[in-house]
Chains A and B, each alone.
Chain A
Amino acid sequence: MRYLTRRTLTLAGCIAASLGAGSAMAQQKEILLGAQCDRVGPTQIVATAYCPAMHDYAALINSKGGIGGFRIRIDEIDNNYQVPPAIEAYERHKQMGAVSYLIWGTPQALALKPRLEQDRIPGTSPGFGSAAAADGKKYPYVFPIAATYWSQGAAAIDFAKRRLGGNLKGKKIAYLYFDNPAGLEPLPVIKDIQELEGFELRTFAVPSPGVEMGAQILDISQRYRPDFVIAHLFGRAPSVAIKDLKRAGFPLSKVLGLVWASGEPDIIAAGGFALAEGYNTMQFAGVGTDYPVLNEIRAMYQKEGKPVPPAMETSVYYNRAILNTALHVEAVRIAVQAKGGKAPTGEDVKAAFERIKDFTLGGLLPPLEVTAADHEGGGWVQVFTIKGGKFVADGPWFRAYRDVVQKHLAAAH
């Protein structure tokens, strides 16, 4: 007993010491971006490349002298894809003085919305979160800054239309989705477009955790026999879908995965690029390893004499993190400029986000234009098809059915 108490006390002492030391972190001439990243939870398939990329981009900016004399620091805390730890992490970043926030996860984005507004810190949720947040008037401090699920759903129908010869009348489309709020979100938009275009739509729900969908796949490939499949899946589910569709003999060229069913890890887990030949993926950041900014990061590593990190071998999630971080840094740059070189507040960065345009990093970002009303930046996506073992762009950036999306945005609350 006595032995145990002593040991417990030692442990408590160490923890107390670490708490005290943790507060001596704020340094001068530094701008802090708070980031949540989830390297161990259900979204780790994304995080493996995403999280290191954020730090790589910040290091690149700092190696070039930072922004107006300020170093950019990204502090990362994992949230295990749960809301309470996300709130705790956010409160900590707020206390540390973060002026801008990289959110992780849809429920977390929803839970942080009122806090971001109250604390006047802009937060980004590229490709996830609530689609209604694209409306900057109703969600002043949330920036999807990439196509929301509504825009993705609309663009997916447009892509299907082009693939099916420009007319969807009488065509059959299957919507295979993860049965959670994020998976359901595009449906109202897709149903509205269905009325416009006159195609037939059937939905196939995949229950959580999404690793078992044999029945749905058989239903699609043997019974319904659609002309096109839109797959809106997350985590391990996309790889299972690709594998099962292939096994059922369904042509993958008639399948489009929305943005979280579109990474290299999904393809590799499904059995590799050779198996997934023809599969279409929707992207909100460019795919490929030869964008100028990526070359600069590689050059930075070579100059430091370090090996290029393995995360850079993949480009889907890595590039998305570059997009997200770069937009934050760009907003900080505009804010510092507007303040005449002084450190910006969250409010300044928010205003700066709303002035971002013509910032594409050599095609890695879409031609987005963020305004006070449109926090989505236009809702651009690009489709990359798997051809000959790699992602090949299937045309330029595009968006579609903006009037339908706008109608839903106006009706949202």
Chain B
Amino acid sequence: MFYRESGVFKTSYAADTALMPLPNTRIGAALAGVIFLAVLPMVFGEYGMSICNLILIAIVGAIGLNILVGYTDQVSLGHGAFMSVGAYAAANLVVRMDMPFWVAIPAGGVMAAFIGTLVGIPSLRIKGLYLAITTLAAQLIIEWTINHVPAISGGAQSTILMPPPEVFGVVLKFQWQIYFFLMVFVIIAMVGAANLIRSRIGRAFIAIRDQDIAAEIIGINIARYKLYAFAISSFYAGVAGVLYTYYLGIANYEQFQLTVSIDFLAMIIIGGLGSPLGPVFGAIFVTLLPILVRRFLETFGGYFMDYSTLAATIPSLRLAIFGSLIIFFLVVEPEGLNRLWRKVRNYFRTWPFSY
């Protein structure tokens, strides 16, 4: 805000392709780094950290879905199922073969990418709502398969207990330890996605999204890039699934049902489709809002009714408020929270001398 940008004075390719060309952005990123890596873990206790951890995992999954839906415009309702593929692949590796986390996490991602690519094949012929239905079918088929194949699910309860990850001989038990563990993957996921979108592949995705026929005419192999999008997106989903499994200590497909896929779609739509920070905002919003609304109601509802009435009212009221807030934010900003954030940022960019 106390800094004025003017003109383009770049003298090297490195400066031109920098991920954060403006000093403001760099300062902001450094500040965010300090807040998220130092301040938050010091301020929050175990409970606060546990919420952060849920958000971090959701961010990884949402970034993955954003690549597919936001940048390539291939609607997917199978994101939860891809997460379960990663979760079970990793859980089986860890429990049966005693693999460390640095094998299990990429392996879960690769397995999900493989299944995701198969599911993506129909996208070569169909698009839009029709594609959504085929991915919905994939979601149900994957659920059914896991439920009915004991070799994958590990028995009738479809549940595999997962030991906590071990990093350099330290077993991660406390929430703050897991927080830093997850943060590594979130940073890799965010930087990876931001760079992917600036690359040849990412530009091809965007070209397909904007006008697939035009993209084909200018020489983009649509079939290949659509499958890339599915593979990369499911890879992220798979990794998120493995992280969930490590965090919860259990792989269970009932955690990855259709509602989860819809939750992730909600995250990226609320956050802002096709924007780098959108999934982050969306994941925070969708995870945190129900918790905050409950806190709010618990505090102020106590003035109006006794505890047992309050306890009966909160669940319904919380859903109603959660739903209305989503509608509210989408009405005031159809392009999502990311756009809201950019408006605020641009306002302060020239503040206090906006004219």
Contacts and interface: CB of A to CB of B under 8 A. Distances in A.
Contacts of B159: 110, 130, 181
Contacts of B206: none
B157 A130 contact: yes
Interface stretch (B29-37, B114-122, B224-232, B305-313): B305-313
A114 interface: yes
Contact of B259 (A17, A82, A106): A82
A87 B248 contact: yes
Contact of B50 (A88, A181, A184, A185): A88
Contacts of A215: none
A181 B311 contact: no
A114 B250 contact: yes
A94 B252 contact: no
A114 B47 CA distance: 16
Interface string A174-203: 000001111011011000000000000000
Contacts of A27: none
Contacts of B127: none
B332 interface: yes
Nearest to A82: B259
B245 to A, nearest CB: 10
Contact of B299 (A4, A21, A83, A110): A21
B15 interface: no
B294 interface: yes
A393 interface: no
A38 interface: yes
Contact of B250 (A22, A80, A113): A113
B124 interface: no
B265 to A, nearest CB: 15
Contacts of B287: 84
A115 B295 contact: no
A5 B345 CA distance: 12
Contacts of A1: 343, 347
Contacts of A76: 311
Contacts of A91: 46-47, 50-51, 175
Contacts of B343: 1
B238 to A, nearest CB: 18
B46 A52 contact: no
What's the interface size class on A, roughly?
35 or more
A4 B339 CA distance: 13
Given A4-B332, A18-B300, A111-B252, A179 B50 contact: no
A293 to B, nearest CB: 18
Contact of B47 (A95, A110, A184): A95
B248 A95 contact: no
B255 A55 contact: no
A131 to B, nearest CB: 8
Nearest to B333: A4
A373 interface: no
A402 interface: no
A168 to B, nearest CB: 23
Nearest to B344: A5
A85 interface: yes
A44 to B, nearest CB: 9
B275 to A, nearest CB: 19
A19 B295 contact: yes
Given A19-B292, A77-B294, A185 B46 contact: no
Interface in A75-133: 76-78, 80, 82-85, 87-88, 91-92, 94-95, 106-107, 110-111, 113-115, 118, 130-132
B192 interface: no
A96 to B, nearest CB: 9
B46 A40 contact: no
Interface in B117-173: 144, 147, 153, 156-159, 161, 164, 173
B298 interface: yes
Given A1-B343, A94-B47, A114-B249, A185 B156 contact: yes
A31 to B, nearest CB: 16
B17 to A, nearest CB: 32
Contacts of B51: 88, 91
A31 B291 CA distance: 24
B290 interface: yes
Given A38-B315, A78-B315, A95-B46, A84 B250 contact: no
A299 interface: no
A368 interface: no
26 contacts: A4-B332, A5-B344, A19-B295, A38-B315, A39-B312, A40-B316, A51-B312, A52-B312, A55-B307, A59-B308, A76-B311, A78-B318, A80-B319, A83-B255, A87-B247, A88-B291, A91-B50, A91-B51, A107-B252, A110-B250, A111-B248, A113-B249, A114-B250, A181-B153, A181-B252, A185-B156
Given A95-B45, A181-B157, 19 more contacts: A1-B347, A4-B332, A5-B344, A15-B295, A40-B315, A82-B255, A83-B255, A84-B287, A87-B247, A88-B50, A88-B51, A91-B50, A94-B47, A107-B252, A111-B250, A114-B161, A181-B254, A184-B147, A184-B157
Interface of A: 1, 4-5, 14-15, 17-19, 21-22, 37-40, 51-52, 55-56, 59, 76-78, 80, 82-85, 87-88, 91-92, 94-95, 106-107, 110-111, 113-115, 118, 130-132, 179-182, 184-185, 187-188
